[in-house]
Amino acid sequence: MAPRLSLLLALLLAGASSAQQQQFMEYMERRFGALEERISQWHDQSSRYSTELREFKSQVITMLENMEKEQDRLRTEVENTAVRVDRLEREVDYLETQNPVPSCVEVDEKLMENQVSTAKKRKNEKYDKLTDCSDTISQVKAMKILKKFGSSAGLWTKDPVGSSEKIYVFDGSRNDTVYVFPRMREFTLFSATRKAARIKLPYPWVGTGHLVYGGHLYYIRQQGTFQVIKFSLANKTIVDSSVFPAEEQVPVFGLSAFNYIDIAADEEGLWAIYATRENEKNICLAKLDPVSLDIEQMWDTPCPRENAESAFVICGALYVVYNTRLPSRSRVQCVFDVSGAMTPEDAALVYFPKRYGSHSSMKYNPKERQIYAWDDGYQIIYRMEMKKKLEI
């Protein structure tokens, strides 16, 4: 460009003397030379800047990559720690099994004898309240995963009264057909429902709070409000029904929104676990008369609904099972004893050994002292180890 410009200027200055022209031309050449140098310096600089920018960029990228790696490492570490905590918990559980408090065992044996003799005495009588029930759970002694059947929510149960071996299966949180298997063996060995009888209920059920007790099926129906229906298994008719005396009910467990009333059996009879809008933070408990469905007494428990997934009653004490982080182990974290014999501090906060998803139901069988649980479509039995309420 410089030579073309100097040519142009040379033409413009054609009128000046040749010496002047010569001087001017030299001057202009110098100026152009200086300018060209500056331009080439700028070029150098800008290419240096862009190199530096490139280097900076690659540094930032390396840093980001390192940070990601660090994050991964931290995540793995956290996961490893969770696994270790889990293993520790299991080890503690195991150590506890290895070192049971000796007096409890004796008491348990005596209690068993007691129960056997009581059972004999009452063989022909109606199942009645066992006033001497003063046991609490100390831990899960063993668990057995029986099979995977049906939907993620459901319940399975066995009549704790009488000698029937039948297994009743309610698949799903809304249906009207109950499967009945003659024995546990038929339920666990055979696929699906080939060996099962079916009972079609007059109204569909809602939730997983149902129960079989003393030859009757107690189930929850929703017809605007919630109703407890008592259905005779002998002649397949509705014997009785009652509406809950709560203005507006809310789901009783924060983590299983389909349950408004959960009926539970224990050594003393039938209970209903529920929640109302009035006292919506906590779970309520009511004692039910199995014959008339009358509510004998009601309690507001201190157990929160939040993060609760299920509950059961043993010897007049409500045990609420919680789950806070997923996927973690379920744990009894709130105990409410209606007799007041056991303070929350005395109660063992029991862990359940394994879980798939969430316990949609946990049905305690007071005769067998085990819990029939439905964990994300898996049917599990938890055998419970007991101790006296007042012993630690």
Rule CB under 6 A: which residues touch ligand NAG? Answer: 174-177, 204, 232, 234-235, 237, 239
Nearest to 89 by CA among 374, 330, 341, 356: 330
Residue 128 burial by CB count (10 A; 0-12/13-18/19+): exposed, middle or buried? exposed
Nearer to ligand NAG, 114 or 232 (CB): 232
Minimum CB distance to ligand NAG, residue 176 (Å): 5
Comparing CB distances to ligand NAG, the nearer of 63 and 197 is 197
Query: Residue 169 in contact with residue 150, Cβ under 8 Å?
Result: yes
Q: In the complex with ligand NAG, which residue's Cβ is closer, 175 or 307?
A: 175
- Residue 60 beta carbon to ligand NAG: minimum distance, rounded to whole angstroms: 56
Task: Give the sheet arrangement for strand 237-243, strand by strand.
Answer: 211-213, 216-223, 225-232, 237-243
Identify the three-state secondary structure at position 61: helix
Residue 181: name the closest of 162, 171, 194 by CA: 194
**The amino acid at 76:** T
Least Å distance, CB 236 to ligand NAG, is 8
Which is nearer to ligand NAG, 33 or 202 (by Cβ)?
202
Report in angstroms how near the CB of residue 191 gets to ligand NAG at its nearest.
Answer: 15
Decide whether 234 or 326 has the Cβ nearer to ligand NAG: 234
Q: Which is nearer to ligand NAG, 200 or 281 (CB)?
A: 200
Separation between Cα atoms, residue 102 and residue 79, nearest integer Å? 38
Nearer to ligand NAG, 19 or 234 (CB): 234
Task: Give min distance, CB of 222 to ligand NAG, in A.
Answer: 13
The pairing of beta strand 370-375 with beta strand 269-274: unpaired
Dihedral angle computed from the Cα positions of residues 203, 209, 214 and 217, in that order, rounded to the nearest 10 degrees: 10
In one-letter notation, the amino acid at residue 240 is D
Work out the number of other CB atoms within 10 angstroms of the CB of residue 294.
11
Pairing state between β 174-181 and 167-171: antiparallel
| Of 270 and 283, CB closest to ligand NAG | 270
CA distance 5 to 307: 84
Task: Take residue 225 and report the two structure tokens written for it.
Answer: 């409000």
Q: How far is CA 116 from CA 75, 111, 112, 120, 367, in A?
A: 54, 8, 6, 6, 10
73 vs 174 by CB, closer to ligand NAG: 174
> Closest distance between ligand NAG and the C-beta of residue 91, in Å?
41
Number of CB atoms found within 10 A of residue 30's CB: 10
Which is nearer to ligand NAG, 178 or 272 (by Cβ)? 178
- The length of the chain is 392
User: Other C-beta atoms within 10 Å of 320: how many?
Assistant: 27
Give least dist CB 232 to ligand NAG, A. Answer: 4
- Could you tell me the smallest distance in angstroms from the CB atom of residue 171 to ligand NAG? 7
- We find the least distance from the C-beta atom of residue 127 to ligand NAG, in angstroms, to be 14
Beta-bridge mates of residue 276: 249
**How near is the Cβ of 287 to ligand NAG at its closest, in Å?**
21
